[in-house]
Amino acid sequence: MKNSILLIVTFLFSTVTMAQDRKQKDTEWEQKFEQLGTMLPTPNVYRTASGAPGHQYWQQKADYKMKIVLDDNNQTITGTEDITYYNNSPDDLEYLWVQLDQNMRARDSDSPLIGRSSMRDTLSALAVFRLTGDSDYDGGFKIKSVKSSGQDMSYIINKTMMRIDLEAPLKSGQNMSFSIDWMYNINNRMTDGGRSGLEYFEDEDNYLYTIAQFFPRMAVYIDNEGWQNKQFLGSGEFALTFGDYEVDLTVPSDFIVGATGMLQNPNEVLTEEQMERFEQAKKSYDKPVIIVTEKEAKKNEKTKASDTKTWKFKAENVRDYGFCASRKFIWDAMAVKLSDGNEPLAMSYYPKEGNPLWEEWSTAAVAQTLKTYSKFTIEYPYPVAISVHTASIGMEYPMICFNYGRPNKDGSYSDRTKHGMIGVIIHEVGHNFFPMIINSDERQWTWMDEGLNTFVQYLTEQELTDQLGYEFPSRRGPAHKIVDYMSGENGLVRPIMTNSEQIRQFGANAYAKPATALNLLRTTVMGPELFDKAFKTYSERWAFKHPTPADLFRTMEDASAVDLDWFWRGWFYGTDYVDVDLSNVRWFQMQTEENGLESRNIKGAGQGIDGSNSNKDFGSDPQAFVFAESNRKYREFNQSVDNGKIKQAAEGKNFYELTLKNQGGLVSPIIIQWTYTDGSVELEKIPAEIWKINEKEVKKVFMKNKQVAKIVIDPDKMTADAYTDNNVFPRTNDGDRFEQFKEGKD
């Protein structure tokens, strides 16, 4: 009966509101709830309307057998690779495209030409160096040969892409093998920059190598695009094909090597004592076992071996390959039990300069990452996950990543350094899932790996609370942390759905905003249980496949039965922000003989309680509305309305008409905190669909048993509302912001 009463009373008020809404001009309706429709690609047999792979979905495969030599004296890498390429597409291919990412460092590279620069009154040595360049450094691949069955193949190099012409088309269902011989000079990452390269330690004349993008790699040929052969200019990362790898890495004999894949010949490259520790690590679940100690690493630093060793690795179903090598490395590892029969090794490689911080926290962070990501996406499928320490970097590859976080020379470190290191390790290890397994096209859509990964990074950081003893201070994820970016200067904000090379404010756009959007979608729109099921469905559907944005959008709706087109449109395709203005509140009670309330005209929308525009308080008395009896029959009740009962139930109740204006343009759920005069508090959430009829302004009436003292919109900053001083009623006299109310200073 209570719902019926509220329905009738709300109807009386809504008739006035509807009349006002009809005065809105059609041009003010921006169709924020229109379905995405043709904005998304047409579903087909490869990618369905549900967001799942279609029954004829296909993808290519590329297997590699490589022999790599790292020359520590000349800082070069020389390689021979045999590639077997499988054409699983329905198309015959007349040529192949191969990525040559190191060519962004070649002398004819476009990357420095398109880079922007400007002069300042004062320039550092590094700034001048980067303006003038390193005339001695000759970067880029030196391709020695491209052959098939011993015969030279015809090829042409266009910057960072190489086209290999075939004598006869590679037909659908066929495969072919060819080989490439190459070398390049390793870049000094500390001066030249880059995701891969060397760090030089002058005190002992030693190098630490973190090597990736180091070999010619097959470009992706895909159903929705054909060849992904967009040039590598530096910002957009990689689109890559899955395959199996067998890699021999030849390095000085005193080097320790970590790499994508499982070490195949530990007995040939480790001492007997190190072998025993390695086996112990496979059974240690509580803490890491140190396989190469700091004492052994310091001993290695003092002498330079003239002979070499070859470390052999195998990796299955990976999309890329990376490795690290140095005589400086300490190495520790522990097992992570994810399920019966799946106990990958979490491992860390770090020089003495990383201690004590790295010994204390690196492998623990790796282990936590595998556990949390496995819970929210898919169970980690690879045998190892490696974190490597070197200065000023955070970069990821299958099973291995390179991370910063260096203590002071005396071993001390700040909380900021500690949290930064833990955060970057979680983020880079997390990239194993996005995009190393759920293999989106980074060259086109940075947010699909960085944004999704940053979101699950946030969930992982929060699950570290027990180990840390306090809540991790996450930089990205909570809604209020994105406000400054989203409400910033118009020309500097671009949609999330922007190609990697055209993004402005890269970190905020591609990392923070999509991560915040997903966190808000989880906590405020869908709820954790429903969101987690849908997100896991997406991860499971597209593991070891090539998803697009449409596949994510469609799957999240398909697996949840929640229409989210308004959300994707606003958060991912637009640049509006959230600013809900609680512009007016009016308080009513039903007029009775007992209360003697004065019946006042209710047409004064937009005015304060006292008839002014001050919006300062509720006034001393409510306005009255007159109960109008009716004998109409309503289908909803299937009976005549019982005027007496409705009137009796409404007596003494407080009716609050809230006027809400969408000042920021981005439609959002509305979270209302009601504080009553007796001190009690109630939280109420209104779905975003309240804006469907009028995206600019809505009025809504709430019936409350108790008298309201204060109303706050989004009290816990869950919706990324940009301006919180218009979220509160009554307003303060001095215009203080919302934080003062939250701290109890009102």
User: Residue 607 has what pLDDT?
Assistant: 39
Paired tokens of 521: 């979608």
What are the two backbone dihedrals, phi and then psi, of residue 481, each rounded to the nearest 5 degrees? -75, -10
Bigger pLDDT: 135 vs 553: 553
pLDDT over 80 at 3, yes or no: no
Write out the H or E segment, with its range, that includes residue 572. Answer: helix 565-572
419 Cβ contact list (under 8 Å, min separation 6): 472, 473
pLDDT over 80 at 745, yes or no: no
List, for residues 570-581, the tens digit of each pLDDT value. Answer: 999 999 999 999
User: Residue 594 has what pLDDT?
Assistant: 66
CA distance 73 to 252: 10
SS3 content of the chain, % helix, strand, coil (to 5): 30, 30, 40
Q: What is the DSSP string of 590-650?
A: E--TTT-PPB--S--TT--TTSSS------SS-EEE-------EETTTTEE--HHHHHHHH
Write out the H or E segment, with its range, that includes residue 709. Answer: strand 708-713
Asked if 335 contacts 363 with a C-beta cutoff of 8 angstroms, the reply is no
Asked if 672 contacts 715 with a C-beta cutoff of 8 angstroms, the reply is no
CA distance 355 to 564: 47
Asked if 405 contacts 420 with a C-beta cutoff of 8 angstroms, the reply is yes
pLDDT band at 128 (very low <50, low <70, confident <90, very high): confident
User: Residue 313 has what pLDDT?
Assistant: 98
Report all structural domains of the chain as residue ranges with CATH numbers, in order of start.
Answer: 61-444 (2.60.40.1730), 579-742 (no CATH)
Side chain identity at 497, as an amino acid letter? M
Paired tokens of 88: 């699983």
pLDDT band at 644 (very low <50, low <70, confident <90, very high): confident
Orientation of helix 549-558 relative to helix 446-462, angle to 10°: 50
Paired tokens of 167: 């004598």
pLDDT over 70 at 260, yes or no: yes
pLDDT band at 595 (very low <50, low <70, confident <90, very high): low
CA distance 279 to 273: 10
β partners of residue 384: 345
β partners of residue 252: 308
Asked if 683 contacts 671 with a C-beta cutoff of 8 angstroms, the reply is yes
pLDDT over 80 at 620, yes or no: no
User: Residue 277 has what pLDDT?
Assistant: 98
- Interior CA angle at 374 toward 475 and 262, to 5°? 105
List, for residues 95-122, the tens digit of each pLDDT value. Answer: 999 999 999 987 777 777 767 777 887 8
Question: Among 519, 489, 517, 515, which residue's Cα sits nearest to residue 504?
Answer: 489
| Number of residues written out for the chain | 746
By three-state DSSP, how is residue 281 classified? helix
Bigger pLDDT: 17 vs 75: 75
List, for residues 262-298, the tens digit of each pLDDT value. Answer: 999 999 999 999 999 999 999 999 999 999 999 999 9
75: alpha, beta or left? (left if phi > 0; alpha if psi -120 to 50)? left
List, for residues 376-424, the tens digit of each pLDDT value. Answer: 999 999 999 999 999 999 999 999 999 999 999 999 999 999 999 999 9
Question: Among 331, 227, 316, which residue's Cα sits nearest to residue 271?
Answer: 331
50 Cβ contact list (under 8 Å, min separation 6): 554, 555, 558
In 377-512, which ranges are continuous DSSP H helix? 415-430, 446-462, 465-468, 483-486, 506
Question: Among 389, 495, 390, 408, which residue's Cα sits nearest to residue 451?
Answer: 495
Question: Among 433, 470, 465, which residue's Cα sits nearest to residue 448?
Answer: 433
Q: What is the DSSP string of 376-406?
A: HS----SSEEEEEE-TT-EEEETTEEEE---
List, for residues 343-357, the tens digit of each pLDDT value. Answer: 999 999 999 999 999
CA distance 211 to 226: 29
Write out the H or E segment, with its range, that includes residue 197. Answer: strand 197-201
Paired tokens of 62: 């590329």
CA distance 155 to 536: 43
Mean pLDDT (the chain, rounded)? 89
Side chain identity at 690, as an amino acid letter? I
CA distance 184 to 138: 8
CA distance 544 to 553: 18
Q: Report CA-CA distances (Å) from 79 to 69, 147, 346, 357, 491.
A: 6, 14, 28, 35, 46
User: Which of 63-77, 519-533, 648-662 has the least mean pLDDT?
Assistant: 648-662
For the chain, the C-alpha Rg in angstroms (whole number) is 31
Q: Which residues of 65-85 are buried (b: 16+ CB within 10 A; e: fewer)?
A: bbbbbbbbeebebbbbbebeb
Asked if 571 contacts 666 with a C-beta cutoff of 8 angstroms, the reply is yes
pLDDT over 50 at 17, yes or no: no
Q: What is the DSSP letter of 105?
A: G
Paired tokens of 123: 């320039």
Q: What is the DSSP letter of 468?
A: H
pLDDT > 70 in the chain, percent: 88
pLDDT over 80 at 26, yes or no: no
Paired tokens of 608: 């304060």
By three-state DSSP, how is residue 551 classified? helix
Instruction: Output the pTM of the full model.
Output: 0.89
119 Cβ contact list (under 8 Å, min separation 6): none
User: Residue 8 has what pLDDT?
Assistant: 43
pLDDT over 50 at 167, yes or no: yes
β partners of residue 656: 587, 702
Paired tokens of 666: 């981005």
pLDDT > 90 in the chain, percent: 76
List, for residues 471-503, the tens digit of each pLDDT value. Answer: 999 999 999 999 999 998 877 899 999 998 888
List, for residues 53-79, the tens digit of each pLDDT value. Answer: 999 999 999 999 999 999 999 999 999
Question: Among 481, 406, 394, which residue's Cα sits nearest to residue 430?
Answer: 394
pLDDT over 90 at 166, yes or no: yes
Question: Among 82, 199, 185, 84, which residue's Cα sits nearest to residue 142?
Answer: 185
pLDDT over 70 at 459, yes or no: yes
By three-state DSSP, how is residue 176 classified? strand
What mean pLDDT comes out for the span 156-163? Answer: 96
Furthest-apart CA atoms within the chain: distance in Å: 104
User: Residue 630 has what pLDDT?
Assistant: 66
Q: Report CA-CA distances (Å) from 312 to 249, 253, 270, 304, 664.
A: 6, 14, 12, 22, 57
User: Which of 122-136, 566-580, 643-657 has the least mean pLDDT?
Assistant: 122-136
Long-range contacts, stretch 523-529, CB < 8 angstroms, 24+ apart: 523/718, 524/479, 524/669, 524/671, 524/685, 524/718, 524/719, 525/562, 525/564, 525/567, 525/669, 525/687, 525/688, 526/560, 526/562
- Interior CA angle at 140 toward 136 and 141, to 5°? 130
Question: Among 114, 139, 251, which residue's Cα sits nearest to residue 193?
Answer: 139
